[in-house]
Every structure is written in structure tokens, then in C-alpha cells.
Structure 1
Amino acid sequence: MTGAKSAVVIGGGISGLATSALLARDGYAVTLLEKRGDVGGRAGLQERDGFRFDTGPSWYLMPEVFDHFYRLLGTSAAQQLDLVRLDPGYRVFFEGRSEPVTVAASREENIALFESIESGAGAALERYLDSAALTYEMAKKRFLYSTFESFLPLFRRDVLRRTRLLVRLLTESLDKFTARYFRDDRLRQILGYPAVFLGSSPFSTPSMYHLMSHLDLEDGVYYPRGGFATVIDTIAALARGEGVDIRTDATVTSIDTRAAASGRKPSVRGVTWTDSAGESHSLAADLVVSTADLHHSETRLLPEALQTYPESYWKKKTAGPSAVLVSLGVSGSLPELDHHSLFFTSDWKHNFSQIFTEPTSVPSPASLYVCKPSASDPSVAPEGSENLFILVPVPADPTIGGRADDAVQRIADDAIAQVAEWAGVPDLADRVLVREVTGPADFASDLNTWKGTALGPAHILTQSAFFRAGNVSKKVDGLLYAGGSSIPGIGLPMCLISAELVIKRLRGDTSTEAMPTPLTRSPAVNRARDAGARR
């Protein structure tokens, strides 16, 4: 690496690990700084009394995006992970109805399921999924892998001939879109729920995102044995294998810049960070990529004059929801619950308005998500017990509290009671052996998230695609961004793509498709390395 350009990556979540691995493969000497004691970020891990709790993402969707990322590094998802396709995909409980709906693993079974609930809904789902698949492929080909540095590549025939369709998909809400296909509220809720994965509401999410139904109702839902922490472990190992220096307990306190000649922007010269003992250090770098929360990166690590996205920008933006996360180790079996279970209230429009519309409040009862990974993976719980993870969506508001607050513990109590009643497990609370709770204040303090959001800026129209924050500073040369706050958006697959977009931005690659695999070192980096070696 003699003479290689140096890069600092801020944040050891999946975006930071993926970005650092790709930068190192591209020829940079990379140091990753993570403020916590472990890498993973939102995709964290808690271990207690034999239970392994994923504390973040738990739906493995878009498997081809994961595989493509691994292939950039010369391997594959099949080599790195032990993936299980869940069958059934998930179970849905509805308030006031005694029987849940079990969503299957295949398109054909789900078409039959919808038809059994509403006459004509099977044929409607076929049309819906055809549209979802077409929209998904167009998004992958023209939008998700674009830095939007140039809009010229978007003026392709396949995009232009669908202009009217795109306008409608971007301006009509997901809820209104599904209502044109289905009458039964249960089916509309099943199709509208993916908006939550995007940190939004089906009443404000563009219907473009009906593409998500292609993923769970047709492509299938997967699970990596060992939990999602294994995804983090594999990417961290690949990053180290590429030569990345990963330092934990390293809190970045500022992104440092140097003044430029007249008429030019300042440029990065490195970062300042503190170790676990509070001692301050400076680290020089030619390139800085922050994968920390974008609001924190801009408003806390840069002076106001150098902020592309200052506080005034954020005052006009919509945060995705926060959450109360409840990790439970439960004695005995829980056949009433599937690997994934959803609990939908009858007035869920009111639920969403409580979360997103001022004055906000915590829904009760809430539309919950429950994960039981022990259904598919005995390694996450001791024999004879179950591993449960309950997610309660709440407003993005740190004043709701954190793990030490009684209010957050009461929200957890209510969620456990709701699951017990709706799923028919009356003794659930009495069987709890281990309990860990996280609240909005913990997201704000542990992960520096804007307003304590659990996900990032919501995917409403004005915060999607080229309307979302870009991945390069407009005020500082050599400063880039990756992660759920910037393009392309929220979710593990999007975070992996955001790492690739850093490489595309550095190369001036304005194409809209995924890069060829494996990643080969760019000529520009080779020239810089060779020039440095000669000095």
C-alpha cells in the first residue's frame, strides 16, 4: 500500500464496513472509526444467558443485492451465509379477528390465499405483482444504483416510455394504489405494511414502492442462520481481509478541513477522534466518508459554513418512526407465532397519524412486528426456549425515553400483553426469562440518530430517489456520505448499494446499473499509488 491514498470511514454499521471494504479493494489505505465497542450499528447484537438477539434489521429481502455486493469482493452470498428461505413467509394477526392470515413463500400460493379472502383478489394480485416486478426491475436498473450526479442516463427509452406511469406511481400514495385493486382491509394492510420498512406510512409513501410486494410475496423472505449479526461479521471479515484497519471505541468529534486557494472549496485533511479514555487524536486522510447519521455528520462534525445539509434543511424534513424494541428470552415453545408475525390494528390509519402527525403520541394498541428467529435457528436460544423480538413503532421523539425510563418499559409491557392476547398465549409474560428494552432516546444517544429515528428520513416523495440527500458534500472536497440517510435509502440492501455509490462517485461513474463484478482497482487510484511510491 506504499503511496496509496488514505481514507477514513466514520461509522462501523453495515454501510461503513461495506464502504471501507470497497475502498480498500480499490486501492485506498482505509481506517474505519466506530464509537461503540462493537461494529454493526443498527444491525446490532445482544447476548445474554444463551440468547442471541438481533437488535435491528431482521428481514432478508433483495437477496440478489447482497450477492452482488459479495461478488464485488470476489465471493458470494452462498459462500458467506447459510440462507434459509422461510416457508411460510410470515403470519398476520388482525384486531378483532380470531384467525390470522399466513402468507406463503410462493407467488402461486399467495394468489390462492388472496382469492380465498376476497373473490377476484387472486387475479388482482397477479396484476399487482406483475406491476411490482416490472417496477422493481426498473428501479434496480435506473434508480437504485445511480448517484444522480447526472440525469442524462435516466433519459433512456425504457424510462421515457413509462413517464406517465412513473408520474402516477410517484404522486399516488401506496394506500390509494392498493385500494384500486382490493376491497378487503386485511389484504390492503398486508400490501401497505412494507411502507414501514421504508420508514414511512402507506398513506404518504409513493405507490412506486408497491415494488416491495414483489420481494415478500414472490421472491420470498430469507434468513441467515446465526442471525443478522452474521452478515455484519462476514462483511467485517472481508473488510479486514482487504486491509481495513477497524478501530472501535473511537468517537469522531470533527471532520477537519484545510482552506483552499481563492475560488475553490476547502478540502478534507482528516478527522479528530477520542478514544475510550477520552484522549484526543488526529488522523490525516485524503478522503473522508461518513456513514454516521447524516444529520449528526453535517450539524455536529462540520462548522456551519461548511454544512451542505444544515439545521434549516432538517427542519423541513420528515423523520421515519422510532421504535421501542423488546428482546425476550421465553421458556417453552410458542407455536402460535411464526418466524415473522405482524399485528395490525383495525384503525391503523390513526396509528400512523399518531406517529407522523403533530402532536404525535404513542399508539395503543399499536400495529406491532414480532420476530421469532428460533423458529428457524436453534442457535439463537437455549434448548427448550424461544427468542422473541417485538418492535413497537413510535414517533421519532427522544423525549419518549430510553431503556432506563418507566414510560418505555410500560410500552414494552403493553406490547407483550397485546401479543399474548391476540396470539392466544395468555401466560407469555410469566414465561419471560430474559428481557432487554430499547427506546428512542437510546437510538439518539447510542447511534446519534436524528430525532431518535430507528430508520432514517422517511421515504416520502420529497425524500426518495434524486430528492433524497446526495452522497457528496457540496462544500468540502473529499467528503462523501453513505448509509440510510442518503441515497438510495433505508434498509440493509440500500446501505450496501450506498457503499457502491461511493466508488461510483469517486470514479465519476454516472451509469445507473450495478458495477461489474468483481471490483477492479480504478486506473486513477493506481496512478496515485504509483506516483506516491516514486516520491
Structure 2
Amino acid sequence: MSGHVVVIGGGVSGLASAALLARGGADVTLVERHDRVGGRAGRLEVDGFTFDTGPSWYLMPEAFEHFFALLGRRVEDELDLIDLDPRYQVFFERDSAALADVLEVTASSETNRSRFDEMSPGDGQAIADYVDEATDLYRLALDRFLYTTFERPLSVADRSLLPRLGSLLPLLTRSLGSRIAGRVKDPRLRQLLGFHAVFLGSSPDRVPSLFSLMSHLDLRDGVRYPRGGLYAVMEALERVALAEGVTIRTGADVRRIVVEDGRAVGVTLADGETLRADAVVSSADMHHTETELLEEQHRARPEKSWRKVRPGVSALLVMAGVEGELPELKHHSLFFTQDWDANFEAIMERGEVPHPASVYVSRTTATDPSTAPAGHENLVMLVPFPAEPALGATPESREAMEQHAARYLDQVGAWAGVPDLRARTSIKAILTPSDFAESLSAFKGGALGLEHTLLQSAMFRPRNISSKVSHLLYAGASTAPGIGVPICLISAELVAKRLLGETSAHPLNTPLPAGYLARSRRRGALGDLARALGSSAAPRPASPQQAGS
């Protein structure tokens, strides 16, 4: 064996997988079809504005800290993190007046509780109790569910977990929306606890109530912003991958995973070049990998098996510059319609575009003025949309998307008390479901990854290893543990755990020693592969961070 691994895709999970495998001793080449890395977490620079074209919330700081610690680094040395206060603001649609009711969620739990009680007496304490439970569930998820490959499902349940099974089962069978409704009276505050479902590609009535754990993230753990935007995370991942010895090739579009004798032995690029390898890790969309990059006889999930798979919500993403100041909006702003449930049903069940819509708006210039020219504001507007790749695919549909964007700007301006918002705004770019389908090969144009329904979460989510092709592994939002930047970092670690034969539910110990894959305890083909990878690469000098630790 040469000890060579090819990683497909330069998004979060691709870069993270490449860095971890290179540290393990492998000779890693990462191939990315675009001219720069990023994947869903991209960056657009135009007319002096800098936009994140994907994720914009920095949550789950433990996952970032742990990933960089695996490589002997500190997140403080890689990212300039700013704690946001207020965390975000929410605009609630009113019955008649154009202006919305506004709630600021701050860094102070006591202030938040008081404001919740002002809106609905008694709900402040109810939400405090709910968040206590969310924190407990979050810790449980870190300890038992997020860092396991589920290769041995029973390994997640030890004696400490068994007494809790009775209370955990309803969390899987009951919806998040139902759990919230049983705790909180005010429908607006229910929305405050349920909007995280969109981060999971779904709606509150479709995700299991176990995901109530996400309220721990914003209401207790806090919300941060990496200076330069979320793409600063991608730049950090690229830096550490290169420091670990990864070769990154951009403008390299993979057309086929080469399989010989049932084993992945490389990839063929669009220009005809073949890169030979001992293993392939695909962080590309799994549907694309299975139905386009593999020949039919090698597909564990052929096209017909995807008919019942839920792609998750898509989005209309609008990147705009605003002339003048915009103090009415904070760094993160959420706009919630009164017909919340009907809004999601229209999008996810009937494939309809909603008006008005529940909208998320990011104004990074509230924290980081460098993201816009002097005298201007940076505005990104995300509207949940049906996962329908035809939306935006033709000139006529593209024009319709731009008209939708203008109407949503009017809605945001009216609710926030900025009546001239559209007149002051110049739309620099939009991304539609067709863009996600074309540029990212996303299944049905979904913006995030496979929806987190019960049957697409945890042990039921697609595994991170092919059942048909040896030495082919997966990372990213289509596989376990799921959607989100920190979750995709964990998915990269699960690739390493799979090679090591590590079936525990716990994260790997930090830092990982150079050449750690050579210590694999796994038997059979993957064990032989891991040990060959781990002993194949020459030792690299320690990084400045490692040398000083």
C-alpha cells in the first residue's frame, strides 16, 4: 500500500477529515471542484462587501475546541471569537399593525426570564426549567450519541443510561413542537424554542423532541461570531490541513470513484486524470456520491432507494448591501409569522413559496464593520424554501426569485420600522434551490443536508461507510451525526474512529499522536488499511502551537 487517501470535497467535513487522516500518517490529497474551499460554508466578495454564503451561527464551541485540540491546537489561536450580546432579536408578526413585536435575547438569563414573563406570566420560569432539561440532554448527547459511529449500537447504553431509557423514548417519538406546547403558553415564545428545527433542515412538528437540547446552545451556552465571518472557520481548517501535510487541489471536479475488485482505489477527474489511492473519503452530498460518482453495481443506495428520503429544507439566500446605517437590526434577527405551522406546511408538504415568510437576517456589520464599505451595512437574508431544484433554474424562475427577494425585503423593512429599506438596498447575489443543486450537487436542492426526522437521525442516519465498496467512507451532512458546522467536524472524527475500530461513544483523546492510525485495533481490511496509512508518511515537524504546548 502507498498509504494514500483521496478526500472528495473541500467543505467543513472534507477539510477536517483530511487534516485528521494526515495526522494519522496518511498521504492525503483533497480535491475540490470550485476554485476555493468552503462547500456550503462559502464566501462571496463583491463591491467591497464580504458575505458568508452558508452557515452564520457559531454554536457548540466544545466541538470546535475539541477538533483543534485533536491536532494539538487551541481554538483561541485559530479564530478571533466575539461573544454576542444581545444574542439575537426576534420580530413577531402582529394582527394588524405593520410594526412587529420585538424581543431581544440577551446574555443574561435573568433578564431573559423577566422579558419572557412580561410577554406571558409564568413562561419565564417554564422556559428556565425547559433550558435546564435542554442542558442535561445536550450533555447526554455529547457523551452518548454524537461521537459514535453506531457500529455497535448497544455501546451507547451503559448502566448509567439504562435508568433513563423510560424518559428518553418519548423524546424520540414525540415532536419538538408538541413538547414545547406542553411547557410554554405563549405561541410567540414557543416559536423562540422551536426555530432551531430549521437548523436541522426541518420544522418543529417534524423533528424528535430530543432536539430540544438545542435551546441550551443559544439560551445558556451563548452565541459567538468569528471575526471575518463563518468563512474564517474554513480558512482555519484549510490552514491546519495544510500544516498537517494535506495536498489541496481546487478546480478538480470528481466524475467517478474508481472501484477495482470491490475496493475504492481512487478517483477520476473531469479532465480524465485518475488519482490512485488506498482509500476514498467522500464528503460530497451522499446522493450525488451514490448515484453519480459510483457505477450502478457499486451503489449501496441506488436511485430508487432515495424516493422516501427527506432532503431537508432549502432556502432563498439574499446577499445585499444597504446604504447608510441600520441600527434597527442586530447581528442576528429572526422574523416569525403568526401562521408558523401553516408556513412550514406550505414549504415542506406542498412545495409552496410563502408570503409573508419566517425570515432570518444577518447583519454582520453590527459586530464586524470590515464586512462592508464605509457608510454601508452588510445584509444576508435567508428564507426557508421548498427543496425543489427547479426554483431558480430558468431565466423566468430566476426573475421570480428576485421578485420574491424584493418582497421579503419589504416585509423585513415594514416589521422592523425601516420603510425605505428596499430603496437603500442593492442586492449583490441570490442563491436558490437550483444553485444548491447545481453548485453543491445537493439532493433535491436542499440547503443543509438530510432532514433530521426520527428515521434520519442517530443510528438511523446513513452510515459513514459503504456497505458495497471496501475502503470507501463518507463524511458530512448526509451521514452521521448530521447537519451543522460543528456536527460536520464530528463526522470527520467518526471517519478516524471507523478506521481505528473505535466503537466507543466518547470523543478521541487529545491530542492525537502523529501516525496514530498505525495503532488501529480493527481487524480485517479496514484495520490493515489504517495501519498501512498510519505507518506510511514521514513524520512532520511540530507546529508552533504544538511545540509550545
TM-score (norm 1): 0.95
**1:318 and 2:320 matched:** no
SS of the residue 1:398 aligns to: coil
| Per-residue deviation, residues 379-420 of structure 1 (Å, max 9, x unmatched) | 111121100000011100011115951111111111111111
Match of 1:92 in 2: 90
Task: Give the drift of 1:533.
Answer: 9.1
Q: Aligned to 1:158, which of 138, 157, 160? A: 160
Aligned to 1:41: 39
Determine the C-alpha separation between the residues in 2 that align with 1:296 and 1:307. Answer: 11
Residues 41-61 of structure 1 show CA distances to partners (whole Å, capped at 9, x for unaligned) of: 010000011110001000000
Residue of structure 2 in register with 1:394 after alignment: 385
2:356 and 2:266 map into 1 onto residues whose CA distance is: 48
Equivalent residues of 1:4, 1:27 under 8 A apart: no
Q: Secondary structure at the match of 1:157?
A: coil
Change (3 A) 1:531 1:496: closer
Q: In structure 2, the residue corresponding to 1:389 is in which secondary structure?
A: strand
| Residue of 370, 375, 378 corresponding to 2:366 | 375
Deviations 1:444-490 (A, max 9, x none): 00000000000111111111100101100000100000000100000
- The one-letter code of the counterpart of 1:327 is M
Map of 1:109 onto structure 2:
111
Structure 1: segments with no counterpart, 5+ residues:
260-265
Question: Which amino acid is the alignment partner of residue 202 of structure 2?
Answer: S
Say whether the 8 Å CA contact 2:317–2:430 is kept in structure 1: yes
Q: What SS does the aligned partner of 1:47 have?
A: strand
Give matches, 1:444-523, under 5 Å. 444-520=437-513, 521-523=516-518
Q: Report the counterpart of residue 262 of structure 1 in structure 2.
A: none
Return the alpha-carbon distance in structure 2 between the equivalents of residues 532 and 245 of structure 1.
16
Q: Which residue of 2 aligns with 1:268?
A: 264
TM superposition shift of 1:522: 2.6
Amino acid at match of 2:268: T
Aligned to 1:528: 532
| TM-aligned CA deviation for residue 109 of structure 1 | 2.4
Task: Say whether the 8 Å CA contact 1:7–1:31 is kept in structure 2.
Answer: yes
Q: State how far apart, in whole Å, the 2-side matches of 1:318 and 1:471 are.
A: 18
The CA deviation at 1:312 is 2.2
Aligned to 2:299: 307
Aligned partners of 1:326, 1:306: CA distance in 2, in Å? 39
Pick aligned residue for 1:72 from 70, 83, 88: 70
Contact 1:403-1:409 within 8 A present in 2 as well: no
CA distance in 1, matches of 2:24, 2:480: 21
Q: Is the 8 A contact 1:7 1:30 kept in 2?
A: yes
Q: CA deviation at 1:158?
A: 2.4
For the 8 Å contact 1:402–1:438, the answer to whether it is kept is no
1:178 to 154, 177, 180: 180
d(CA) in 2 for partners of 1:383 and 1:113? Answer: 35
Residue 106 of structure 1 deviates from its aligned partner by: 3.1
- Secondary structure of the 2:292 match is helix
| Separation in 1, partners of 2:422, 2:25 | 53
The one-letter amino acid paired with 2:148 is S
Amino acid in the other structure paired with 1:325:
L
Query: Residue 497 of structure 2: SS of its match in structure 1?
Result: helix
Shift of 1:317: 1.2
* RMSD (CA atoms): 1.6
TM superposition shift of 1:529: 6.0
SS at structure 2 position matched to 1:399? coil
The 8 Å contact of residues 352 and 386 in structure 2, kept in 1 or not, is answered as: yes
Contact preservation (8 Å) 2:9, 2:39: yes
Compared CA separation, residues 532 and 11, structure 1 to 2 (3 A): closer
Cα-to-partner distance string for 1:202-246 (whole Å, 9 max, x where unaligned):
011111001000000011111001111111001101101111110
> Which structure 2 segments of 5+ residues have no match?
521-529, 539-549
Question: Are the aligned partners of 1:308 and 1:474 in contact in 2 as well (CA < 8 Å)?
Answer: yes
| TM superposition shift of 1:10 | 0.2
Q: 1:425/1:478 Cα in 2 relative to 1: closer, same or farther (>3 Å)?
A: same
Whole-Å separation in 2 of the counterparts to 1:346 and 1:193: 13
Report how far residue 98 of structure 1 moved. Answer: 3.6
2:542 aligns with: none
Q: State the partner residue of 1:293.
A: 285
Counterpart Cα distance in 2 of 1:532 and 1:411:
54
1:29 to 6, 27, 30: 27
One-letter amino acid of the structure 1 residue matched with residue 182 of structure 2: R
Aligned length: 521
Amino acid at match of 1:31: T
- Of 11, 20, 24 in structure 1, the residue corresponding to residue 9 of structure 2 is 11
SS at match of 1:75: coil
Counterpart for residue 407 of structure 1: 400
Query: Is the contact between residue 250 and residue 273 of structure 1 (CA under 8 Å) also seen in structure 2?
Result: yes
Q: Which residue in the other structure is 1:52 paired with?
A: 50
Give the aligned partner of residue 242 of structure 2.
240
SS of residue matched to 2:91 = strand
1:402–1:408: 8 Å Cα contact kept in structure 2?
A: no
1:306 Cα deviation after fit? 1.5
Q: How much has 1:152 moved relative to structure 2?
A: 2.7
SS in 2 for 1:158: coil
1:126 Cα deviation from its structure 2 partner: 1.9
8 Å CA contact retained: 1:403, 1:438: no
Q: SS at 1:474's partner residue?
A: coil
Matching of residues 86-235 of structure 1 within 5 Å: 86-96=84-94, 98-235=100-237
Structure 1 residues 35, 529: closer, same or farther in 2, change over 3 A?
Answer: closer
Greater shift in the superposed pair: 298-307 or 485-494: 298-307
Is this contact kept in 1: 2:312–2:451, CA < 8 A? yes
Distance 1:529-1:492 versus aligned 2 partners, 3 A rule:
closer
1:62 is matched with which residue: 41, 60, 63?
Answer: 60
